[in-house]
Amino acid sequence: MPPVLHAGPNIGGETSLPIPRWQWFSLISGLFALTMVLAAMLFLYALTFSDTATLNYRLRSPLIIPLLVVALLIGTWLLARVLYAAKREQGLWLTPTKVHLSNGLMRQSVDWDDILEVQAAAKPRFATVKLISRPGTLDLVWASRWARKKSRTWLIEIYTLEFDMDSALLYHLIAFYSQHPELRAELGSRAASDRICRGAVLESSARRPGALS
C-alpha cells in the first residue's frame, strides 16, 4: 500500500512534498562503520601484542597490517560522515518548480523543466533513480569537508534504499511529475497525496527501459 504523504516545509516560498526517509538507515550505516573500525583495531592489537607463533599463517602476511590500517582509516572516515550528517537536515523534497535532495553533507536541487530524463537502475549501489538534467543547471551546496566532491553537475542520484517508499513507486512518482508539468502545482497539497494513494502516478507514468519493478 502506498504511504500517506503529508505537506512538508516551505522551500524557497513553495510548498513541498517530502519523501519519508527510512529511519533506521543512518543507524545501520553507523553501526557498520563502527564495526569496521573496532574489527580493524582488534586485529591490529592482536598482531602487535600477541605471540606471532600462535597466529594463523595467513595473518602473518606482510600485507595484513597495511590492509588493516587502510580498513581502519576508511571505517573512521565513514563513521565521521555518518555522525556529521546525522546532525543535519536530510531528505528528498518535491516542490512545484524544483527537486531538492540532501544527504546531510551535500544539498542538490534542479528545476523540473531542466530535467531531461528520469532513469532507474540497480547500480552503482542498490536501486537508484537518476535525474539527468541540462549541463550546468544543477545547484550544489557543500555542507562540509566530508562531502564527496561531485564532478557531474548534470546528474542527481537518489538511492532509494534511504527512503521509506517502494523503489518502483518513487521512480514512477518522480517520472510522473517530470512528464506532467501542468500538475506540479499540486505538490505539497492533499491532491498529490491522494493521487499517490490511488496509484495514479503508476498508471500515467510511462515505463522506460531499465525501470525498477
Quickly count: other Cβ atoms within 10 Å of residue 13's Cβ: 7
Q: What is the mean pLDDT of the chain?
A: 78
Q: What is the pLDDT of residue 134?
A: 92
pLDDT band at residue 24 using 50, 70 and 90 as cut-offs: low
Q: What is the pLDDT of residues 88-116, one digit of tens each?
A: 777 899 999 999 998 877 888 999 999 99
Q: Are 20 and 4 a contacting pair, CB within 8 Å?
A: no
Distance of CA 89 to the CA centre of its chain: 13
Q: What is the pLDDT of residue 209?
A: 42
Burial 76-98 (b: 16+ CB within 10 A, else e): bebbebbebbeeeebbbbbbbbb
Which residue in 139, 134, 116, 126 sits closest to 170, CA to CA?
126
Is residue 207 over pLDDT 50? no
In this structure, what DSSP letter does residue 136 have? Answer: T
Integer Cα distance of 211 and 121 in angstroms: 7
Integer Cα distance of 132 and 1 in angstroms: 29
Distance of CA 6 to the CA centre of its chain: 21
pLDDT band at residue 21 using 50, 70 and 90 as cut-offs: confident
Q: What is the pLDDT of residue 104?
A: 76
Integer Cα distance of 117 and 154 in angstroms: 11
Q: What is the pLDDT of residue 212?
A: 57
Q: Sign of the C-alpha dihedral, residues 91, 92, 94, 97?
A: positive
Q: What is the pLDDT of residues 144-173, one digit of tens each?
A: 444 555 556 688 999 888 888 888 899 999
Q: How much is the average pLDDT of 164-191?
A: 92
Domain boundaries, the chain: 17-22+90-204, 25-86
In this structure, what DSSP letter does residue 57 have? Answer: G
Q: What is the pLDDT of residue 36?
A: 81
Q: What is the pLDDT of residue 148?
A: 53
pLDDT band at residue 197 using 50, 70 and 90 as cut-offs: confident
* Sheet of 17-19, strand order: 17-19, 90-94, 98-103, 106-111, 139-142
Q: Are 75 and 37 a contacting pair, CB within 8 Å?
A: yes
Entry pTM? 0.68
Q: Are 75 and 40 a contacting pair, CB within 8 Å?
A: yes
Q: What is the pLDDT of residues 37-88, one digit of tens each?
A: 888 787 777 666 655 555 554 555 566 777 777 888 888 877 777 777 667 7
DSSP percent split of the chain into helix, strand, coil, nearest 5: 45, 20, 35
Q: Are 10 and 95 a contacting pair, CB within 8 Å?
A: no
Percent of the chain topping pLDDT 70: 70
Which residue did the predictor score with more confidence, 149 or 132? Answer: 132
